[in-house]
Amino acid sequence: MGCAKILHLSTYVTLLAFFPLRAYSTDVENRSAPDACSTHTILPGPKGEPGQKGDVGEIGKPGKEGPKGRKGATGGLGDVGDQGLIGKFGPIGGKGDKGYKGLPGVPGGKGKPGSFCDCGRYRKVVGQLDNNVARLKSSLNFVKNVIAGIRETEEKFYYIVKEERSYRDALTQCRIRGGTLAMPKDQATNSLIADYISKMGLLRVYIGINDIEKEKHYVYTDNTPVQNFSNWKEGEPNDGSGYEDCVEMHGTGVWNDVECHLTIYFVCEFLKKTK
Ligand code: GN1
Ligand code: CA
C-alpha cells in the first residue's frame, strides 16, 4: 500500500518516457530480488460494491460517574408547621398595685344605747375562775387517788359506802352525797361495780333496784323499769321470805332479791355532768 500511494499516476507516465519498459525489465531481472513496491506499479481496480451493513453493535459499557452537579437553586418557602403544645405555667406574677379606695357604704342605723362594761374586771374574774377550775381538778385528782377504789366511767363516778344500812337509809345516804344507789343498766357498768365489790374484799352491796311498789315489777331508783339488761343469779329473784323487794349485787356481779330492812354496805353513783 505504501508504494502505490507514493507513486502517483503522472509520475508513472514520466518514468515511462525516460526509461523504456524492456530495458528496464531486463535490468531488473538480472538483479537480486528487489522489493515489489520499489519495482512494480500496481494500479487499483475499480471500487467494489459497498458491503452489507454491519449488525448493531453491543450495548456500550456504562459511562464513568459524572462530576458532582452544581448546587441547586434555593427551594420555595415551606408549609406552615402545626401549632405547638401549650407551654408550662409561668411563675406567679408580682403583687398588683393597691386598688382605688371604694365608695363609702351606706351609713348603718343608729345603735342601741350602750351599757357600761367593766371589761377589765370581767377578765380578772375569768382569770380567777380558770385558776379555781385548775385547783378543783387538782383536788379531784387528789381525792380520787386518796379514796381507794373510787371508780368512774365517761359519765359517772361509783363509790361504795362501807356503812351498814337498810335499803332506804342507803338510798338516803347516796342522795345526801348528791347521787343515788348505783343503777347497773348495762354489762359494762355491772362488771365495773362487781369488780369494785370484789376488789374491796366485799361479798354484797345494795344496788338501786327494787320491786317495792309492785311485786315482780323491778325498777331502778330513777323509776325506769329493769327490762333491757339484768343479771339475776340463777334461781333469783325468788322472793324467798315473801318480803324480798330490794336487790343486792354479789362480788361475782349477780343480783339477788333480799328483804329491804337488811343492813349491808351500798354503792352510790354520781353523775359527772348535770343535764
Ligand atoms: C338466802 O338464807 P336463805 O337461804 O334463807 C338469801 C335469799 C336467797 C337465798 C338463795 C338474806 O336466803 O335472798 O334467795 O339465800 N337471803 C339473804 O338460796 O341473803
Ligand atoms: Ca332472793
Using the predicted structure, report yes or no on whether residue 144 has a pLDDT greater than 80: no
Alpha-carbon Rg for the chain, nearest whole angstrom, is 73
Q: Which of 48-57, 91-100, 142-151, 244-253 has the lowest mean pLDDT?
A: 142-151
Per-residue pLDDT, averaged over 144-169, amounts to 89
* 1 vs 112, higher pLDDT: 112
Nearest to 234 by CA among 246, 221, 252, 208: 252
What is the distance between the alpha carbons of residues 157 and 40, in angstroms, rounded to a whole number?
Answer: 167
What is the CA(239)–ligand 2 centre distance, in A? Answer: 5
For ligand 1, say whether the CB of 256 is within 6 Å of any of its atoms. Answer: yes
Fold of 136-271: Mannose-Binding Protein A; Chain A (3.10.100)
d(CA 240, CA 259): 9
- Rounded Cα distance between 187 and 254, Å, is 11
pLDDT of residue 246 exceeding 80, the answer is yes
Where is pLDDT greater, at 147 or 187?
187
**What's the whole-model pTM score?**
0.55
Q: Is the CB of 248 under 6 A from ligand 1?
A: no
Determine the Cα–Cα distance for residues 119 and 126; give it in Å rounded to an integer.
Answer: 10
Q: Measured in angstroms, how far is the CA atom of residue 259 from the centroid of ligand 1?
A: 9
Residue 259 has pLDDT above 70, yes or no: yes
In angstroms, the CA 121 to CA 47 distance is 156
Q: Which residue did the predictor score with more confidence, 234 or 146?
A: 234
Mean pLDDT to the nearest integer, 41-55: 80
Distance CA 150, CA 270 (A): 11
- The residue whose C-alpha atom lies closest to atom 11 belonging to ligand 1 is 258
List the domain boundaries for the chain. Answer: 10-39, 136-271
Position 50 pLDDT exceeds 70: yes
pLDDT of residue 223: 98
Average pLDDT over residues 151-179: 96
Element (H, E) at 37: helix 36-39
Average pLDDT in the chain: 83
Ligand 1 atom closest to 240 (CA): 14
47-51: average pLDDT:
83
Going from the Cα of 240 to the center of ligand 1, the distance in angstroms, rounded, reads 6
Ligand 1 within 6 A of CB of 245:
no
Does the pLDDT value for residue 30 go beyond 50?
A: no
- Band of residue 32 on the pLDDT scale cut at 50, 70, 90: very low
Considering only residues 21 and 225, tell me which one the structure prediction assigns the higher pLDDT.
225
Residue 243 Cβ contacting ligand 1 at under 6 Å: no
pLDDT, greater one: 13 or 156: 156
pLDDT at 147: 67
Least confident range from 54-63, 173-182, 228-237: namely 54-63
Of the pLDDT bands very low, low, confident and very high (cuts 50, 70, 90), residue 233 is: very high
Query: What letter does residue 225 receive in the DSSP assignment?
Result: B
Q: Residue of the nearest CA to atom 1 in ligand 1?
A: 240
Would you list the DSSP string of 238-270?
Answer: --TTS---EEEEETTS-EEEE-TT--EEEEEEE
User: From atom 15 of ligand 1, which residue's Cα is the shortest distance away?
Assistant: 240
Which residues make Cβ contacts (< 8 Å) with residue 139, sequence separation at least 6?
Answer: none
- Verify whether ligand 1 is closer than 6 Å to residue 247 (CB atom): no
pLDDT at 184 over 50: yes
Nearest ligand, measured from the Cα of 261: 1
Average of pLDDT values for 199-225?
A: 97
